[in-house]
Amino acid sequence: MRHIDTSDFYGPKVVNELIREALHPYPEDLHLVTKVGARRGDDASWLPALQPDELKAQVHDNLRHLGLEVLDVVNLRVGVAEGTGDDPLSEQFGALAELRQQGLIRHLGLSNVTLDQLTEAQAIAPVVTVQNLYNLANRQDDALVDRCAAENIAFAAFFPLGGFTPLQSDTLNAVAARVGSSPQQVALAWLLQRSPTMALIPGTSTLEHLRENLAAADLTLPADAIEDLNTIGA
């Protein structure tokens, strides 16, 4: 089974149209994961778009541009640009739950959320995925990762290689040299071994880096390497 996250720097409309042009009609084992709750400003910044009517319009836009009658997974993006916030999300998540009841969405997820917000959303409808910033150096969501694993909820880590501030660590480099892989592969392999429900969103613009990222799934880190890497985010 394969999945594609349709979020992108250029905005969902452009990405969705490219995905449709390249892949439609979609293979049966391909599942598209979309995200709503923000829109692009004229300066390419992300602006909140969390009113229920805005969220419903974004869902219909995704359906139209992807050429679908139902979306596999829709993530509600909350929080702030710097990370998670603590605002209630019942109204917003409830709007998406209505669309799920109408058959326009199969499953619901969350992005940029806290433990309490996950609990709040679960009281409204099942949550199948959480998408938060998480990597070797950003471990503030350790408890959320563990909870998702315990409840069989996929945890999709974005910026798994550090994002706009790429991971740089002497410890990471040393472990990579020891196991004969690149630091990037080791960082991704650590995440995959961190939780059985971990999924990764490593951005790349080259086929070479894409192949390197995919190869990380075949890398099993020994216990002493995991122990060393765990000190990076301590």
Q: Is residue 174 in a domain?
A: no
CB 9 within 8 Å of CB 21: no
Number of Cβ within a 10 Å radius of residue 117: 25
Instruction: Note the pLDDT of residue 234.
Output: 79
The first and second tokens of residue 154, run together, are: 């996929």
26 counts as catalytic: no
Could you give the CA distance from residue 140 to residue 121 in angstroms, rounded to a whole number?
20
Q: Indicate the SS3 state at residue 150.
A: helix
Total tally of structural domains belonging to the chain: 1
Instruction: Note the pLDDT of residue 119.
Output: 98
Q: Is residue 175 in a domain?
A: no
β-pair type (38-40, 46-48): antiparallel
Catalytic residue among 2, 5, 10, 140: 10
Could you give the CA distance from residue 202 to residue 162 in angstroms, rounded to a whole number?
9
- pLDDT tens for the chain, 234 residues long, are 556 666 554 456 788 999 999 999 999 999 999 999 988 888 877 789 999 999 999 999 999 999 999 999 999 999 765 567 788 999 999 999 999 999 999 999 999 999 999 999 999 999 999 999 999 999 999 999 999 999 999 999 999 999 888 999 999 999 999 999 999 999 999 999 999 999 998 888 899 989 998 999 999 999 999 999 999 987
Instruction: Note the pLDDT of residue 1.
Output: 54
The first and second tokens of residue 58, run together, are: 């974004």
Q: Is residue 110 in a domain?
A: yes
Q: Is residue 97 in a domain?
A: yes
Q: Is residue 21 in a domain?
A: yes
Q: Is residue 224 in a domain?
A: no
CA neighbours closer than 13 Å in the CB half-sphere of residue 220: 1
Question: Domain residues for 112?
Answer: 2-133
Q: Is residue 42 in a domain?
A: yes
Q: Please state whether the peptide bond connecting residue 52 to the residue before it is cis, i.e. omega within 30 degrees of 0.
A: no
Could you give the CA distance from residue 23 to residue 2 in angstroms, rounded to a whole number?
12
**Which CATH number fits the domain that encloses residue 86?**
3.20.20.100
Q: Is residue 119 in a domain?
A: yes
Could you give the CA distance from residue 78 to residue 120 in angstroms, rounded to a whole number?
13
**Spatial CB neighbours of 82, under 8 Å, sequence gap ≥ 6:** none
